[in-house]
Structure 1
């Protein structure tokens, strides 16, 4: 299979950075390209520059570039065809058993990154919703667009966050994933391409595939987003829509700088590409105030469509989310939704109204808890697994941790034996990338997180010592 995109020699040179190391130059170059593929910074099926072009960009002989490509082909990381060039791939891998082990009482589940419920606030919200419910009983009990009172509350909440919004720009959904599913149903179809960050939210990738569309990955860089590659991919792949997480990106935790937000919106507007921005983690900024919302750069919602949720920031058991877009698209989504699930539960919508009225104080307490838990996880990792690397995210709920070796799937399988369920790196990528990474949420109590790291240290010792994961169960398909 050939590629939807190609890299120029200078672009690949920038991705490689300081690639030279000891030994033969061709071997060092092959190692550096291999690492880009394994880390997901170089997506699969990306066409690489010709050997002469790469040699000129790197200032090496063509013989060095030719030998590096040859080594990568021998290892299975590169495929070539006369007249079509060479493109990235992964070697055939028998993998691990795909049957998940059941989650028992002694298993610590890190497959879900979501805050614990604000118990007192939740109880008060339930009492208020119960008192309000009789007013809604004479009606049919469903509205595909959501209760007007909740649409008003969401619009007011978004406006307070810097996204001026009117109720007719809001559709209530059963969470952000449901919102994305509706958008995929309306804006794309089988065979269409959907641009995604790489890595990205695992369930979003599942939703894209389930819709019959094809995810086209754009790699994240160490410092954030590769907007040059983003623009090239839009031009070459012509995606039906682009899906990004600009605030506390899941799983990397990165937040997009303001200048990049403006460039991204300009690019989407110029190419008429609907830009779906997932704001499910907005509100969990930990170290500094958030950047200006992407939606604020397109107030009418003609290009920028945001999806939000109360699941990550309030409680995952409260299945309330929303779409913010122009009123015309909201009506199309409501029509499409009517063929699927008709509407959200009235009682939960009324609870959401009450919670949103106190969102500022609730989210402040959720941030305080996340700060303590992040510190506990970071301290435990630096003590027990000091060679694992990560950047401290300025917000969100998880660390994106780089392992010593590309053995993420093996670690996840063996960790299951030690009572820890986690998301291996490849769950957040396309075609098996990110074997060098795992996602570690810090959404559990501090003592539990310290226990998790001790168990992971034991599991990692088993992986690197060759006590591997033969016959172990792989991580489950659901990663939230």
Structure 2
């Protein structure tokens, strides 16, 4: 399916407004929300002329007053332009950048490319768990004798690691077999390989409106790929709106993160089933990024993997050991059907012939013997750090707002003014590296009042970092670096 372009007929638009009547509230507000969701996602391009009130009312079988009121609501909030009575156009606030011409490097904001700052709050990557230090010190013992009698080249992954990953996935409820798994050089390579394999010129790909920049980077490498953004708010992915969009636009794939990055929210099993039903209806593959899945900060268990919820759905799962064990242990994986796994294995072989055998063997041993204990240790530390971070922000009384994440290592913080980019740049010059919210967004004007603060650091370091940020924020405010943003705020 192609994007709706400069003019759209009433019949064509009505076909895209899947189940728009469902839900609470007046009918005109439900229609306005459905139209806004399509525009927000980029499924209706900026400048597209919509049908007249009369023709859309006939196509939807509603009164003209309903369409008139819906259009008025969208004009008042900046989503439509044009006088009442005339066919309106989609406003510029919905513009989605062309992937091929995007100048920004989405991953650059997460890596400090200068002298080491006093506090680095950009990359959400942990130091080694104690078990990793022990494993690396005992690496010669962990190497089976047979390893010294072979080349060490395993493009799809060392057999011992493949079996360890399969067992790890089976513990989570996924009926995994080593033939369905491809080992990668971290989750970023996994996302890049999957994005390349699933690219189709005439079908869009759906991603969350704010997401891990590595996903944006992987998809931008596909040139002028059509991208649909699934709406996200402070509570995470808006499941019902996302399901409607998937049905309406039939993307080739939809990328969903467990413990949504950067909001830290979870959609739960009920939300997961609704997304999977929509994906089955639309013949869309779900790519579930479960890199953060083992970092559940509440007492309830992590959400069930999509591949376990609906084994009949087309689900590809991306995982990694880096968030539990160590950011420097670059071991990721892809679990998918055997056919796609064979294709990805061949592509991996063409790229780098596979990862280092010693690190794969260390990861296999850690997964089999220490991963659960290391995960519990990591979660305890994260809970302590999160408590210190939120207490420090609250005590500083900066007017910053946040919701405690359900999982993952990130706190998504709203600033009183939409000047996160300016604030982050000032903080960087003062030796505190922090990522502005727009680094996680595809659409310009998104999350401009947000910053992301990872809390892998120890509590004392986070308290000191917040104290430094507090001083910088006060200077930022005194310098008058704030303005009002026109149009609706979205993320």
TM-score tier after normalising by the smaller chain length: 0.7 to 0.9
SS at match of 2:192: helix
Question: Counterpart in 2 of 1:265?
Answer: 276
Select the residue among 194, 218, 224 that pairs with 1:207.
218
Paired with 2:414 and 2:253, the residues of 1 have a C-alpha distance of: 30
Question: Counterpart in 2 of 1:26?
Answer: none
2:424 pairs with 1:412:
yes
Size of the alignment, in residue pairs?
444
Q: Which moved more, 1:235-244 or 1:176-185?
A: 235-244
Paired with 2:207 and 2:126, the residues of 1 have a C-alpha distance of: 25
2:90 pairs with 1:86:
yes
Unpaired segments ≥5 residues, structure 2: 57-61, 97-102, 483-491
Q: Which moved more, 1:362-371 or 1:140-149?
A: 140-149
SS at match of 2:362: helix
- Cα shift readout 1:13-42 (whole Å, capped 9, x = no counterpart): 9799xx9xxxxxxxxxxxx9xxx99xx994
Paired with 1:12 and 1:270, the residues of 2 have a C-alpha distance of: 17
Closer/same/farther in 2, CA of residues 430 and 106 from structure 1, 3 Å limit: closer
- Cα shift readout 1:266-302 (whole Å, capped 9, x = no counterpart): 22122221100000011111212222222212447x5
Structure 1 residue 409, shift from structure 2 partner? 0.8
Unpaired segments ≥5 residues, structure 1: 20-31, 470-480
TM-score, structure 1 as length reference: 0.80
Paired with 2:184 and 2:325, the residues of 1 have a C-alpha distance of: 15
Select the residue among 225, 231, 239 that pairs with 1:219.
231
Closer/same/farther in 2, CA of residues 189 and 3 from structure 1, 3 Å limit: farther
**Would you say the 8 A contact 2:40–2:94 is kept in 1?**
no
Question: Counterpart in 2 of 1:195?
Answer: 206
**Would you say the 8 A contact 1:172–1:322 is kept in 2?**
yes
- Cα shift readout 1:427-477 (whole Å, capped 9, x = no counterpart): 1111221102111111111111112212222222233333549xxxxxxxx
Question: Counterpart in 2 of 1:290?
Answer: 302
Paired with 1:251 and 1:41, the residues of 2 have a C-alpha distance of: 23
Closer/same/farther in 2, CA of residues 220 and 256 from structure 1, 3 Å limit: same
Select the residue among 172, 179, 182 that pairs with 1:161.
172
Q: How does 1:146-157 map to 2 (within 5 A)?
A: 146-157=157-168
Structure 1 residue 426, shift from structure 2 partner? 0.8
Closer/same/farther in 2, CA of residues 239 and 178 from structure 1, 3 Å limit: same
**Would you say the 8 A contact 2:296–2:408 is kept in 1?**
yes
Question: Counterpart in 2 of 1:473?
Answer: none
- Cα shift readout 1:325-383 (whole Å, capped 9, x = no counterpart): 12221111101212212211101101101111211111110011000000011001111
Closer/same/farther in 2, CA of residues 393 and 271 from structure 1, 3 Å limit: same
**Would you say the 8 A contact 1:165–1:299 is kept in 2?**
no
Select the residue among 321, 338, 348 that pairs with 2:359.
348
Select the residue among 134, 138, 141 that pairs with 1:124.
134
Structure 1 residue 220, shift from structure 2 partner? 1.5
**Would you say the 8 A contact 2:401–2:414 is kept in 1?**
yes
Select the residue among 299, 309, 315 that pairs with 2:320.
309
Structure 1 residue 9, shift from structure 2 partner? 12
Question: Counterpart in 2 of 1:465?
Answer: 478
TM-score, structure 2 as length reference: 0.79
Q: How does 1:367-378 map to 2 (within 5 A)?
A: 367-378=379-390
Q: How well do the aligned residues superpose, as a CA RMSD in angstroms?
A: 4.0
Paired with 2:215 and 2:7, the residues of 1 have a C-alpha distance of: 22
Paired with 1:41 and 1:440, the residues of 2 have a C-alpha distance of: 30
- Cα shift readout 1:126-172 (whole Å, capped 9, x = no counterpart): 24432343522322221121011100001111112222322122111
Question: Counterpart in 1 of 2:467?
Answer: 454
Paired with 1:161 and 1:263, the residues of 2 have a C-alpha distance of: 20
Closer/same/farther in 2, CA of residues 10 and 91 from structure 1, 3 Å limit: closer
Paired with 1:383 and 1:175, the residues of 2 have a C-alpha distance of: 38
Question: Counterpart in 1 of 2:75?
Answer: 69
Closer/same/farther in 2, CA of residues 324 and 3 from structure 1, 3 Å limit: farther
**Would you say the 8 A contact 2:318–2:333 is kept in 1?**
yes
Q: Which moved more, 1:136-145 or 1:228-237?
A: 228-237
Paired with 1:274 and 1:192, the residues of 2 have a C-alpha distance of: 12
Question: Counterpart in 1 of 2:377?
Answer: 365
Paired with 2:104 and 2:290, the residues of 1 have a C-alpha distance of: 34
Q: Which moved more, 1:437-446 or 1:363-372?
A: 437-446
- Cα shift readout 1:214-233 (whole Å, capped 9, x = no counterpart): 33111114444323322332
Closer/same/farther in 2, CA of residues 266 and 170 from structure 1, 3 Å limit: same
Closer/same/farther in 2, CA of residues 463 and 91 from structure 1, 3 Å limit: farther
Select the residue among 396, 399, 408 that pairs with 2:408.
396
Closer/same/farther in 2, CA of residues 185 and 102 from structure 1, 3 Å limit: closer
